[in-house]
Amino acid sequence: MRLLSLLLTVSLTLALAYYIYIPLPDAIQQPWKLMILDAYLRTAFHVASLKQWLGFDHQTRSFRQFTFGFEGILKEFLSTESSAGAVPGVKVSDISFAGIPVRVYEPPAGGEGHLRRGLMYFHGGGWAVGTTKKGPYDITNRMVSDELNTVVVSVEYRLYPDVHFPVPYLDCIAAAKHFLSPEVLAKYSIDPDRVAVAGDSAGGNLAAAVAQEISVDDSMSVKFSVQALIYPVLQALDFNTPSYLQNQYIPVLYRTSMIQFWLQYLNIDLSLMPEFLVNNHSALQHSSLTPELRSRLDWNVLLTQKYKKNYKPVIVEKGSEGFLKRVPGLLDVRAVPLLAGPEVLAKCPRAYILTCEHDVLRDDGLMYVRRLQDAGVAVTSDHYEDGFHGCFSLTSWPLEFDVGKKALRGYLSWLQNNL
């Protein structure tokens, strides 16, 4: 009986280790912590898929509940209350800007005659998950507000599956225009020359698109002075860039997961994922994808050899006929900011772009750095060789990574010196 119990324990232990273990590059520090986090997220995804199959709820809504539940488990360590204790002077208000829910963080300093910085933040999560009101985003925005004497406005834009593109973008641009109005800036004692827009991942996509739109809108008397993009997702036409291939199995954002986020956002049938994996959706036969447009995301030109490595472009002659006409969002700069023309980029505010070596989105960010620089925009490129997608938000115990703390401190320092 003891032997049977021992064998069962060993078997279960090995099975658990096999489920958790993922080969990771040596550069990634604290690998087991990342593996355990990824195992939890994978389990949550599988359970959410099962619930949808059984007819209980949409997979994405269930997955959101699981991630919120995980934050609840860690409430003793990552709660709003505990973070508020660290920055007791920050005032938090849940209101709306132009009908869009936002959370406003007001620093204790300032007041009449003392103008403050302003920052609008869009959270990540593949346009499908995430919230400004819990966990890392809440903690980070409190830190920014307190340390930099900044009024931070974090936007709760609508998410998939309730909406698709362009609704999240429209929510963000509406909130941004409201925030930049002279009346609102005056209400919060914000210096109109010191207002930033920022975001991570899908939020970085929204921040880049909003910055572009505001920069060319002549009706706006106040515009963003800087933009800060944290591993932004910027294009959906080439899923065979060096970083997509190099990091396709690196947690917490796999290549197939990012493609699925894009399909969901653009309201494309998920069964078409194989077409996207091999770039059939951007084949040469598509006349709407002109050579000029292709050059705006040609990584073979825009990346240095260090990042191109030995990878070769995947160019398809004939793919899915008429696909781009059926899904115009693939060429819409509001969804794909990397496709913006040089005349638009030239008007954009100076930028901070954070990229991570072990992230499928690395090359999106690096190509945007190059394109902005070519358009004459001052850009600070902050690249972390030991970084992975999501690390920026992993700064508090027990989900604490050294690279995350470095990335957060680099972001804060740049804003301190440039905003």
pLDDT of residue 82: 43
Non-local CB neighbours of 400 within 8 Å, separated by 6+ positions: 394
Query: Residue 227 in 3-state DSSP?
Result: strand
For the chain, what are the domain ranges? Answer: 30-73, 89-236+331-418
Catalytic (active site) residue 389: yes
First to last CA, the chain: 68
Task: Report the topology of domain 89-236+331-418.
Answer: Rossmann fold (3.40.50)
For 366, phi and psi rounded to 5 degrees?
-70, -35
d(CA 349, CA 163): 29
- From the candidates 171, 238, 359, 363, give the one annotated as an active-site residue: 359
pLDDT at residue 132, as a whole number: 86
Q: How far is CA 314 from CA 71, 302, 311, 370, in A?
A: 40, 15, 9, 21
What pLDDT sits at residue 286?
84
User: Does an H or E element contain 53, and which?
Assistant: helix 31-53
Q: At what angle do helices 402-418 and 135-147 cross, to 10 degrees?
A: 40
Q: Show the tokens assigned to 338.
A: 């990397």
Closest CA to 294 of 255, 330, 245: 330
Q: Given 83, 171, 389, 396, which residue is catalytic? A: 389
pLDDT of 293 reads 96
DSSP string for residues in 316-375 = -SS-STTHHHH-GGGG-TTT-GGG--HHHHTTSPEEEEEEEEE-TTHHHHHHHHHHHHHT
- 93 catalytic residue (yes or no): no
The one-digit pLDDT tens for each residue of the chain (419 residues) are 666 666 555 545 555 565 778 899 999 999 999 999 998 888 887 787 878 788 888 888 877 877 755 544 444 444 444 444 456 789 999 999 999 999 999 998 655 558 999 999 999 999 999 988 888 999 999 999 999 999 999 999 999 999 999 999 999 999 999 999 999 999 999 999 999 999 999 999 999 999 999 999 999 999 999 999 999 999 999 999 999 999 999 999 999 999 999 999 999 999 999 999 999 999 888 888 999 999 999 999 999 999 999 999 998 988 777 788 889 999 999 999 999 999 999 999 999 999 999 999 999 999 999 999 999 999 999 999 999 999 999 998 788 999 999 999 999 999 999 99
**pLDDT in the model for residue 83:** 43
Q: 11-33 burial, b if ≥16 CB within 10 A, otherwise e?
A: eeeeeeeeeeeeebeeebeebee
Check residue 45 and give its pLDDT.
Answer: 78
Helix (H) or strand (E) holding 92: strand 91-97
Q: Specify whether 364 is catalytic.
A: no
* pTM, 2 dp: 0.93
Give the active site residue among 201, 225, 393, 396: 201
User: Which parts of 201-274 are beta strand (E)?
Assistant: 226-230
